[in-house]
Amino acid sequence: MDGFSLFWRGLWLGFSIAAPVGPIGLLCIQRTLNGGMTQGFVSGLGAASADAVYGAVAALGLASLASFLTSVSFWVQLVGSLFLLTLGVRIFFLRPATIAIKSSGSGLLASYGSTFLLTLANPMTILSFLAVFAGIGLARTSTGYIGAGWTVAGVFLGSACWWLFLSAVTGLLRKRVTSIALFWLNRFAGCLLAGFAIYLLVSLWR
């Protein structure tokens, strides 16, 4: 299989895994509405980078690393859930900005890092990548490091395309959102994120 085919398969994979709007998508929407498109997109790039990491594990066939990630999934998910819960509470009490906040370098780095860590905090994602890789035939293909590089590049770009689309659409809608609407949006988003976190915490002991 040539590099171009691997790249396009990775592109489709990255986009399709990123597209469902879960807690990370909600977080990026909330950040776009409060801080502008740049902050929302950079937050999405954090998730795209984490997707690329898991894509690399699957593409390189690193079974031992995948096994390790699943073996420590309880503790990683516990820390990630507590972090998400804290983030939800902070967003609930966040005062909406009347204009888009001008994101500083440190602010953008924090936005990127938080979504990167939150996405990595779900090691079960590796199972999704392994399953999809098998379904599209990549698991049966010896691609080598170059082929894996093409695949991972596709995964990252596909995921990044989704976050760019989501942040751009949300950024356009921001002009129609009043400060009162942002006030209630922050509370709604905070409750949902905290709810996701509580659900994840409860599921750990089921």
Secondary structure letter of residue 72 according to DSSP: T
Cβ neighbours of residue 172 closer than 8 Å, sequence gap 6 or more? none
Mean pLDDT for the stretch of residues 1-6:
70
118, 84 Cβ separation under 8 angstroms: yes
Question: Interior CA angle at 64 toward 63 and 65, to 5°?
Answer: 90
CA–CA distance, 26 with 59 (Å, rounded to integer): 28
139, 98 Cβ separation under 8 angstroms: no
Please tell me the total number of residues recorded for the chain in this structure: 206
pLDDT for position 140? 46
Cβ neighbours of residue 64 closer than 8 Å, sequence gap 6 or more? none
Considering the entire predicted model, what is its pTM? 0.77
CA–CA distance, 165 with 171 (Å, rounded to integer): 10
* DSSP count for the chain of H helices, then E strands: 9, 0
Q: Which of 14-28, 63-77, 108-122, 164-178 has the lowest mean pLDDT?
A: 63-77
- The ranges assigned to domains in the chain are 3-204
Q: What are phi and psi for residue 180, nearest 5 degrees?
A: -65, -40
Q: Which of 25-29, 97-101, 136-140 has the lowest mean pLDDT?
A: 97-101
Q: Residue 183, Cβ neighbours under 10 Å: how many? A: 13
Percentage with pLDDT > 90 across the chain: 14
**pLDDT tens for each residue of 107-118:** 789 889 989 988
Q: What are phi and psi for residue 21, nearest 5 degrees?
A: -85, 105
Average pLDDT, the chain: 78
The single residue listed with the structure tokens 């596709």 is 154
**pLDDT tens for each residue of 182-194:** 788 888 888 988 8
Q: Which of 73-82, 141-150, 168-177 has the lowest mean pLDDT?
A: 141-150
pLDDT for position 69? 65
Cβ neighbours of residue 164 closer than 8 Å, sequence gap 6 or more? 41, 44
pLDDT for position 90? 85
Q: What are phi and psi for residue 36, nearest 5 degrees?
A: 105, 170
Q: Which residue has the higher pLDDT, 93 or 112?
A: 112
